[in-house]
Amino acid sequence: MNRREAIKTAVLGLGSMAVMGSGTMLASCSGRKPKVVTINGSPRRDMNVAKLLQKAMDGAESQGAETEIYHLYGYKFKGCMSCFSCKKKVGNSNGKCVIHDSLAEVLKACREADALLFGAPIYYDNVCGTMRKFLERLMFPIDPYTVNQETGERERFLTKTVPVGFVYAMNAPENMRKDFYGPMFNSIEGYIRHIFGSCDAVYATNTYQFKDYNRYDVNLFREEDKRAWRDKQFPIDLQNAYDMGAGLIKKIQL
What residues line the site for ligand FMN (CB under 6 A)? 42, 44, 47-50, 121-125, 169-172, 207, 209
Torsion, Cα 95 143 69 103, to 10 degrees, reads: 50
Torsion, Cα 22 70 181 174, to 10 degrees, reads: 120
Least distance to ligand FMN, CB of residue 64, Å: 28
Least distance to ligand FMN, CB of residue 249, Å: 24
Least distance to ligand FMN, CB of residue 163, Å: 23
Least distance to ligand FMN, CB of residue 172, Å: 3
Taking the least distance from each CB to ligand FMN, the nearer of 116 and 169 is 169
Taking the least distance from each CB to ligand FMN, the nearer of 161 and 171 is 171
Least distance to ligand FMN, CB of residue 181, Å: 8
Taking the least distance from each CB to ligand FMN, the nearer of 135 and 162 is 135
Question: Which residues does 137 contact at the CB level (< 8 Å), separation at least 6?
Answer: 77, 78, 79, 80, 97, 99, 103, 107
Nearest to 247 by CA among 16, 65, 52, 68: 65
| C-alpha span between 248 and 213 (Å, rounded) | 36
**Counting beta carbons within 10 angstroms of the beta carbon of residue 53, is it exposed (0 to 12), middle (13 to 18) or buried (19 or more)?**
buried
Question: Which residues does 247 contact at the CB level (< 8 Å), separation at least 6?
Answer: 59, 165, 200
Taking the least distance from each CB to ligand FMN, the nearer of 16 and 42 is 42
| C-alpha span between 48 and 205 (Å, rounded) | 10
Taking the least distance from each CB to ligand FMN, the nearer of 40 and 94 is 40
Residues in the chain: 254
Taking the least distance from each CB to ligand FMN, the nearer of 77 and 221 is 221
Question: Which residues does 199 contact at the CB level (< 8 Å), separation at least 6?
Answer: 163, 164, 165, 166, 189, 192, 193
Least distance to ligand FMN, CB of residue 245, Å: 17
Least distance to ligand FMN, CB of residue 158, Å: 29
Taking the least distance from each CB to ligand FMN, the nearer of 12 and 170 is 170
